[in-house]
Homo-oligomer: A and B are copies of this chain.
Amino acid sequence: NIMEHKQEAKNPFFRVVDLTDDTEDPAVWGKNFPVQYDGYMRTVDQVRTRYGGSEALPRTPDDADPRSIVAQSRLEEDPRLKRMWAGYAFSIDFREERGHAFMLEDQTFTARHQKPQPGACLNCHASTYLAHKRAGDGDIVKGFEKINPLPYAEARQLVNHPITCIDCHDATSMQLRITRPAFMEGIRALKASQGISNYDVNRDATRQEMRSYVCAQCHVEYYFKGEEKRLVFPWSKGSKVENILAYYDEIQHKDWEHADTGAPVLKAQHPEFEMWSQGIHARSGVACADCHMPYQRVGAHKVSDHHVRSPLLNINKACQTCHNWPEEELRERVYTIQSRTFELRNLAMDALMDLISDIQAARAAGASSNSIAAAQDFQRKAQFYLDFVEAENSTGFHAPQEAARILAQSIDFARKGQNALRPRTETASRN
């Protein structure tokens, strides 16, 4: 065993095959990097934590959907979500997310396709680097522009894998690199808003930043812009919730019209990067990979654990390198933060339901269009703020106080919306 250790120390890896910028199949990369490959393959595991991870639920495959195992339905867990998203694809099917291994099939078979979806969806659910490269004759931005507007089913033919090694790594140096045009553009806009012009992420980012940026290619709020369905990260005014809402307000974007109220509403989606940015860990230079892909010792080496998952399933490596507390105590710290977030999330959800009921009732009673418009605008705000935390997958951990702040604002918006429809009982108002 020691013999083996000494041996390993001399050979960081065996170059069994030559990898090129066109090697897509992770199994081939795995020949050179068996440990990383092994971890990568284990993202099929499904283990539930109190608020995260995922549960493996059996289902009977059918023609439309051959999956025999899915994650739990969030809509069934909390039916208020259906009403929150009434009229939008999310009210049809929305499940707890699970490991990277499933990203392509979960997207392919979600019932959300009952509403037609574009090829742009694939940016975050498949290994698109080579698809983009091919479609753009070597220019990934051109390829990106070509594939985005295609109908989903058609675009789906152009990809073969969920995210693979080549989406995060340069094949010859193994260095991290950004492969997604949407992030290159998004981060450039964000930096510009901070006074840094002409930011080129693959040129200017530090290694530690890259350990978060590779994740921020997908774990972010987004929308599809215009007829070209260009995938855009709405950060040109900043990446805090109020900056993003201001962006959407300015371009008068709506994701859909709410079925019960007619309000022009927005859905926030997995703003992990944005939320993490407001937290103490980001401020202290702790990257996504530090917690979700911590170094692990394998023989004499340290390798990044490519089994990307909830850190609560791996507290020892994910947290104890920095925090000298027992595992149980660290778990309790996380749960304390998450249960506060969950408490406020429920409060905000109730407030939003109340507002939706009030708008419905006011419309039925023929209330003035002014007051209804005011209430609808409050709904838009309350909904987006609430969704920003609800859709963020750490249940507040990535930025505990910021998550609570956003939910407090959401509650205020929803309740003010109700006020807009409920005049005071008297006529002359006194101060």
Contact = CB atoms under 8 A, between A and B. Distances in A.
A418 B421 contact: no
A424 B337 contact: no
A347 B422 contact: no
A361 B426 contact: yes
Contacts of A341: 401
A57 interface: no
Interface in A328-352: 333, 337, 340-341, 343-344, 347-348, 351
B431 A360 contact: yes
A364 interface: yes
Given A333-B280, A343-B405, A424-B422, A429 B362 contact: no
Given A407-B408, A408-B344, A411-B408, A362 B426 contact: yes
A51 to B, nearest CB: 15
Nearest to A348: B408
A403 B284 CA distance: 22
A411 B405 contact: no
A419 B421 contact: no
A380 B344 CA distance: 20
Contact of A412 (B347, B357, B429): B347
Contact of A411 (B354, B401, B411): B411
A416 interface: yes
Given A411-B408, A415-B418, A424 B340 contact: no
A430 B364 contact: yes
Contact of A401 (B401, B421, B424): B401
Given A333-B280, A412-B411, A340 B402 contact: yes
A203 interface: no
A415 B411 contact: yes
Contact of A429 (B344, B357, B423, B427): B357
Copy count, this protein chain:
2
A198 to B, nearest CB: 26
A271 interface: no
A412 B364 CA distance: 26
A359 to B, nearest CB: 10
Contacts of A10: none
A426 B365 contact: yes
Contact of A340 (B351, B396, B405, B425): B405
A400 interface: yes
Nearest to A416: B415
Nearest to A280: B333
Nearest to A365: B426
A47 interface: no
A361 B427 CA distance: 9
A427 B367 CA distance: 12
Contacts of A321: none
Interface in A352-389: 354, 357-358, 360-362, 364-365, 367
Given A347-B409, A423-B425, 12 more contacts: A280-B333, A283-B333, A284-B325, A340-B402, A341-B401, A344-B408, A401-B403, A411-B415, A418-B422, A422-B422, A422-B423, A422-B425
